[in-house]
Amino acid sequence: MSNHQLIPLNRLVVSRLNVRRTDRKADIDALAASIAAHGLLQNLTVAATATDKYEVVAGSRRLAALKSLAKTGEIARDFAVPCQIVESDGAGEVSLAENVQRVAMDAMDEVDAFSSLAEAGQSGADIARRFGISERHVEQRLALAALSPKIKSAYRRGDLTLDVARAFCLVDEHAKQDAVFKALSKPITHAGSVRNQLMQGRMRRNDRVATFVGLEAYEAAGGKITRDLFDTDDVYVDDPALMNKLAHDRLDAVRGDALAQGWAWVEVNIHQHRFESAYGARLHPIRRAMTEEEQAESNRLEAEIEQLEQELDEADDDDERWATLDAHNAELEALRAKIQEWDADMMRHAGVILSIGHNGAPNFAYGVVRKADQKKINDIQRRREREATRGDAGTDGDDSADTDETVGACVEQADGPRLPKALVLSLTLARTQAIRKHVGESPRLGLALTVFALARSSIAHQPPRGIGIRSATAGISDHQGLDDARSSLAGSVPTTETDLLTWCMGQSTEDLQTALALLISDCIDLTHAGVTGEERHLQAVSDAIATEISLDMTQFWSPDLTFWSQLPKAMLLDVLAKSPHVMGMRPREHAAFFKAHAKLKKDDLARATEKALDGAGWLPAPLATPDREERYELTDAGVAALETAA
């Protein structure tokens, strides 16, 4: 038995039998706004109690909304609420039935309803206020209402998902929406495929060039952008040509500053930072000693940075001291840059490669020497060595008479006849044999001579005389920390050959090992095309080193659209097949996904792959570090146990 009755609001309480336990305040506020605008559209279901109260077994959200309106004074506290009264014995079942059998309104039906209200003259703000929802939600529904009729019909048929329908809202033109819908295989389940098709020719906001220029500067220059109404982070640059021009304009200003410093040339490459085969070695700056004032300031900054880092070890991200730490680090970096000096004569034969890094910051590769200019750099170094040698010997003479042969050929006695050449050969052979014996018995001396030979090749770009160790710098752009360490070494060693040798002999084994590591790193070049047998052997060497140092290339490299665009379509599909997103699909979804992507053009497939693998830590085979093989060694106890078992 049940009947309907108007019951005062202040006599209604929530029943313990009501199965709904969780309500969000935002939902209650929205429902209250709707009741205020349209009235209570559905009765509450209640059961009588032993007192004059009635327990609400179905309709707790409506009860909460009504009490909220009473609290604000929009309705009376004894407002007459239409209720359906049920027996207490079946109250729990009634509550469960109402909540379980409830079917949410279809999104497209809601879209059409909002569209009708808008056509009737209600603004987005009016609709939002009357239904207790945000204006953005109304804008999203009205955007879906403006879709092509073909897209809306396809949604109702199940040929595309609601997420895909939202993706079509990126453009207003029905013709373009219909063309993309026709080009994709059905059903369309991947919204990214739609976005890639609709946004062809546009640039993403997170592109390195867009990050470098900034959206504000781009829009100030008249550039237009497309924002995804359903995803605030999804923004597209409509005019990539303008964005690239703005990037070039900014880099040209920086280029002028670099040329004013005395460099011979500055090459601008906004898309990537790499050294081509036309480049040879790189120059390194010399760091002068700090003045007393500079050293005091450096000590102060280092101490404050260390203290702040300790204090901020467990601090919140919004702690104001993080800004202070960043400022101190910037001051210290500026101070260190101040004492860095470049050789003015050599700068006239070297240049700078200026580019934009993955994080959108400008990259500077200073001191790059083109192969065509390498001889000029070598000539300057040789001339200075000859001048230093003449100064050490206390002699004068012109450069034409001071050849390499003359510098190293003083074998005559100070006040007597010259020794015969055959005898000199015999004597120097004996001395060589003695030296070789001593070096062979002294690891530290062998290490010193190795560092000497490598320093001559890497820093002075000259072969070491009398020691058959050769090295060639690879001319590869390094990480800033390694460049700084190598520059520091270059600034601390003597420039003349004999002084350099003396310096090496006077270093400790630990210092020699540090120098050796830096110099060896400058000689490593494991780049190859992976085609010939020799190149495959080179990959094996690279793999062995990577395994030994547990190299994680995801810390240094990540694939971008430029990379994906260079892969064959078959490889892009293979990579997609192994991505976490696709591997987790059900068989039917998996088949539909690949059917849709196999029909994409290569550029669109590359964009889809970029989005699917974003943040996944994927690496191509040449960059993946092989698993380290476990090595076991039997202890004496293990050997004894085996012998006993035998």
Q: Does residue 232 sit in helix, strand or coil?
A: strand
Q: Does position 171 have pLDDT exceeding 60, yes or no? A: yes
* Pair 344, 443 in one domain: no
261 belongs to a structural domain: yes
Range 111-131 average pLDDT: 78
DSSP 371: G
353 and 462 housed in the same domain: no
Hunting for tokens 């373009």 — which residue is that?
176
Give the torsion sign (CA, 563, 567, 572, 574): negative
CA dist 312 and 306 (Å) reads 10
174-219 per-position pLDDT tens digit: 999 899 888 888 888 888 888 888 888 888 887 888 888 889 999 9
pTM of the model: 0.45
Would the pLDDT of 631 be above 60? Answer: no
Q: Do residue 261 and residue 349 come from a single domain? A: yes
Longest dimension (CA), the chain: 138
Query: Does residue 615 contact residue 570 with C-beta atoms inside 8 Å?
Result: no
**In terms of domains, do 354 and 431 share one?**
no
- Write down the pLDDT at residue 8: 92
Task: Give 20's pLDDT tier (boundaries 50, 70, 90).
Answer: low
Looking at the structure, tell me whether residues 260 and 341 fall in a common domain.
yes
Task: Please give the Cα distance from 259 to 354 (Å, whole number).
Answer: 12
243: tokens are 């964005």
pLDDT at 643: 59
Task: Give a yes or no: residue 127 inside a domain.
Answer: no
Same domain, yes or no: 366 and 465: no
pLDDT the model gives residue 412: 36
pLDDT over 90, % of the chain: 4
Q: What is the structure's pLDDT at 512?
A: 86
**Rounded average pLDDT over 368-376:** 86
Confidence check: pLDDT of 639 > 60:
no
Confidence of residue 220 (pLDDT cuts 50, 70, 90): very high
With contact defined as beta carbons under 8 Å apart, do 40 and 66 qualify? yes
**What is the per-residue pLDDT for 146?**
85
What is the distance of C-alpha 364 from the center of its chain?
A: 18
pLDDT of residue 386: 77
Question: With contact defined as beta carbons under 8 Å apart, do 226 and 238 qualify?
Answer: yes
Q: Look at residue 280 in the predicted model and tell me its pLDDT.
A: 65
Residue 29 has pLDDT above 60, yes or no: yes
Lowest mean pLDDT across 1-10, 13-22, 403-412, 413-422: 403-412
Query: Coil, strand, or helix at residue 263?
Result: coil
Give pLDDT, residue 101: 44
Q: What are 270's two structure tokens? A: 């906004």
Q: Answer for the pair 575, 613: CB distance below 8 angstroms, yes or no.
A: yes
pLDDT at 1 over 60: no
**Which of 100, 126, 144 finishes a domain?**
100
| pLDDT at res. 395 | 47
Return the amino acid letter for 177. Q
Q: Which residues pair with 645 in a beta bridge?
A: none
Mean predicted confidence (pLDDT) in 152-158:
86
pLDDT attached to residue 300: 92
DSSP run (H or E) holding 231? strand 231-237
Q: Give the separation between CA 123 and CA 139, rounded to whole angstroms.
A: 10
Read off the pLDDT of residues 36-63 as tens digits, 9 standing for 90 and up: 877 887 888 888 888 889 998 888 888 9
How confident is the prediction for the chain on average, in pLDDT?
Answer: 77
**Within a domain: residue 78?**
yes
* Number of domains comprising the chain: 3
Q: Cα(251)–Cα(219) distance, rounded to whole angstroms?
A: 19
430 confidence band (pLDDT: 50, 70, 90): low
Looking at residues 329-342, what average pLDDT do you find? 80
Given this model, what pLDDT does residue 510 score? Answer: 84
Residue at 631 is within a domain: no
Domain membership of residue 488 (yes or no) is yes
More confident residue, 442 or 596: 596
Greater model confidence, 637 or 610: 610
| 345: three-class secondary structure by DSSP | helix
Q: Which residue has the higher pLDDT, 395 or 559?
A: 559
Q: What strands, in cross-sheet order, belong to the sheet with 231-237?
A: 203-204, 231-237, 225-228
Domain match, 447 and 517 both: yes
Sheet holding 265-269, edge to edge: 265-269, 351-356, 362-370, 279-282
Residue 637's pLDDT band (cuts 50, 70, 90):
low
pLDDT of 397: 45
Contacts 24+ apart (CB under 8 A), 534-541: 539/622
Domain, as residue range, for 288: 253-311+321-373
Residues 363, 438: one domain? no
Report the alpha-carbon distance of residue 66 to residue 524 in Å, rounded: 76
Q: How far is CA 477 from CA 163, 275, 293, 354, in A?
A: 44, 7, 33, 12
Q: Residue 389: what pLDDT? A: 64
Q: Are strands 3-8 and 54-58 parallel, antiparallel or unpaired?
A: unpaired
Between CA 408 and CA 416, with CA 412 as vertex, the angle to 5 degrees is: 165
> Is the omega angle on the peptide bond into residue 580 within 30 degrees of 0, that is, cis?
no
368 and 438, same structural domain?
no
Split at pLDDT 50, 70, 90, the class of 519 is confident
For 62, the enclosing helix (H) or strand (E) is: helix 60-71
> Does residue 154 belong to any structural domain of this protein?
no
Looking at the structure, tell me whether residues 270 and 354 fall in a common domain: yes
- Count other Cβ atoms within 10 Å, centred on residue 492: 11
Same domain, 18 and 95: yes
Q: How far apart are CA 125 and CA 130, in angstroms?
A: 9
- DSSP characters for 142-191? HHHHTS-HHHHHHHHHTSB-HHHHHHHTT---HHHHHHHHHHS-SSB--H
HEC secondary structure over 531-547: CCHHHHHHHHHHHHHHH
Residue-wise pLDDT for 520-550, tens only, equals 777 677 777 766 777 667 677 777 777 777 7
Residue type (1 letter), 270: I
Q: Band of the pLDDT at 11, cuts 50, 70, 90?
A: very high
**Comparing 262 with 318, which gets the higher pLDDT?**
262
For 184, list phi and psi in degrees, rounded to 5.
-95, 145
Residues listed for the chain? 646
Question: Which residues have C-beta within 8 Å of that of residue 151, sequence separation ≥ 6?
Answer: 160, 165, 168, 177, 178, 181
Angle between helices 421-440 and 443-458 (to 10 degrees): 120
- Which of 52, 76, 100 marks a domain boundary? 100
| 3-state secondary structure string across 498-528 | HHHHHHHHCCCHHHHHHHHHHHHHCCCCCCC
**How many Å separate Cα 532 from the centre of its chain?**
32
* pLDDT at residue 22 greater than cutoff 70: no
**pLDDT score, position 642:** 53
Tens-place pLDDT, residues 97-112: 555 444 455 677 677 7
**C-alpha span between 246 and 219 (Å, rounded):** 11
Asked whether residue 598 is assigned to any structural domain, the reply reads no
Q: Are 266 and 250 in contact (CB under 8 A)?
A: no
Domain boundary among 68, 100, 132: 100
- Asked whether residue 32 is assigned to any structural domain, the reply reads yes
Which range is least confidently modeled, 97-101, 304-308, 432-436? 97-101
- Residues 261-272: pLDDT tens digits? 889 998 887 765
Task: Quick: pLDDT tens for 475-513.
Answer: 556 667 777 777 788 878 887 888 888 888 888 888 888
Is residue 222 pLDDT above 90, yes or no? Answer: yes
Rounded Cα distance, 403 and 438, in Å? 31
Query: Could you tell me if 428 and 509 lie in one domain?
Result: yes
